[in-house]
Chain A
Amino acid sequence: MEGFGKMAAVGLASVASVIVFSTVMGVGLAMPVDDFQLRAGSIDGQNLNMYVGTMDNYGGKIFQELSSATLSNLEIVKEMSLGGLTIRTLIRSPQASASGVLMKCDNFSAGSMRATNQRIGPYGGRDFAVTADTLRVENVSAWVTEMVVASLDLGNMVIKLET
């Protein structure tokens, strides 16, 4: 029985480490990461370009591009279910900055929004898009299906694993 317990513990630890490793490497090395919840106290971004991807090419997602962004109280939550066991990975950063951000999401909500020179129409190289020179959103929550960043700095990052 003792041996079985040790084996289970080793198995769980290895599964958990793979999830943490893949998520952290994905975010930390600015590689595409998919299907996670993004929460942030605030996002300050520049050169917003928001549009809807076509159903045939992009599965009808909301695309948000920012040339650069500063995020406070960033939280990335990714849940995985393995054999009835749900493992939740949380990556927290009090202050993060990114450049060349492309976020593909299903929905996006914010407690408040401030945008300068916002435009809706044929802008940003698209037939139809929402663009803004600067954007500040607070109390953000978004379900992100894919995120690509050119560079990312996660200052004082904390990783937490919950089962």
Chain B
Amino acid sequence: MRRETRRQPFHFFTLGRKGTAAGLLLVFSILLAAPLLGSPGETFQVWAFYSYTWSELHMVGYENENVTVVTSPSIHFENVRMLVNGMWIELKSADAENFYLKAKYMETDIIILNLVPLCRIVLNGSHVDRGIPLIGWMLGLETCHTADAHMYPPLTWMVQMRNTYIVAEELRLSLVSENVRIHL
């Protein structure tokens, strides 16, 4: 006859007093740390055909948040479409002031003097996935580096962007725009 044992199925789930305390401590520490980790965050998408600025332009990657923050005191956009939570916002042309964008992903064509295509840059999280050859070091947009570009006139108006696509977490600006359409 088989000897009776105290061993139960899934015995490894039963914890002793110390184990229970350690488990509770682990659960509480995760619960307490959750707000610090930040929520996954919803995103919205932005498409812009053409944009330029005569002012400063900053692109800074933040590794802890895995985002690149794009800021400019004033920036101009043409043919913008935004998909925000199932709602389309379309702007024919827009002048933005105090522009602040927290981007999870961004890709854009860089053109020079409104004419000459230079390259396509891709920013993924806080990193540069595809940079600008040769002058990348000057703009702080070198491949395999955290984005750290600070452009000032005349560099900003020499470097313009076309066919921009952004997946963003947050956008703040003051806006003057023409031909606005909002629809589902």
Contact = CB atoms under 8 A, between A and B. Distances in A.
B85 A106 contact: no
B11 interface: no
A51 B86 CA distance: 10
B165 to A, nearest CB: 16
A107 B175 contact: no
A113 B180 contact: yes
Nearest to B174: A116
Nearest to A136: B176
A44 to B, nearest CB: 14
A119 B178 CA distance: 18
A52 B184 contact: yes
B85 A137 contact: no
A interface secondary structure, majority = strand
Interface stretch (A9-17, A23-31, A65-73, A120-128): A120-128
A109 B42 contact: no
B184 A118 contact: no
Interface in A100-156: 106-122, 127-128, 130, 137
Contacts of A130: 84, 89
B17 interface: no
Contact of A108 (B41, B168, B176, B181): B181
B44 A109 contact: no
Given A62-B87, A106-B183, A137-B180, A120 B171 contact: yes
Given A107-B184, A111-B179, A128-B85, A117 B42 contact: no
A114 B91 CA distance: 12
B72 to A, nearest CB: 15
A116 B102 CA distance: 18
Contacts, number: 85
Interface residues of B, number: 28
Contacts of A119: 170-172
B175 A128 contact: no
A122 to B, nearest CB: 7
Contacts of A51: 85, 87
B182 interface: yes
B173 interface: yes
Interface in B90-137: 91, 102
B151 to A, nearest CB: 24
B172 A109 contact: no
Nearest to A137: B180
B174 A120 contact: no
Given A128-B44, A128-B85, A130-B84, A108 B182 contact: yes
Contact of A113 (B41, B87, B176): B176
B56 interface: no
Which of A50, A106, A113, A115 is the most central at the interface, judged by chain B CB atoms within 10 Å of its CB? Answer: A113
B42 A110 contact: no
Given A113-B178, A121-B169, 9 more contacts: A109-B180, A116-B174, A117-B172, A117-B174, A118-B172, A118-B174, A120-B168, A120-B170, A137-B180
Interface of B: 41-42, 44, 82, 84-87, 89, 91, 102, 168-184
7 smallest beta-carbon distances between A and B, as pairs: A121-B170, A107-B183, A108-B182, A120-B171, A110-B180, A113-B180, A113-B177
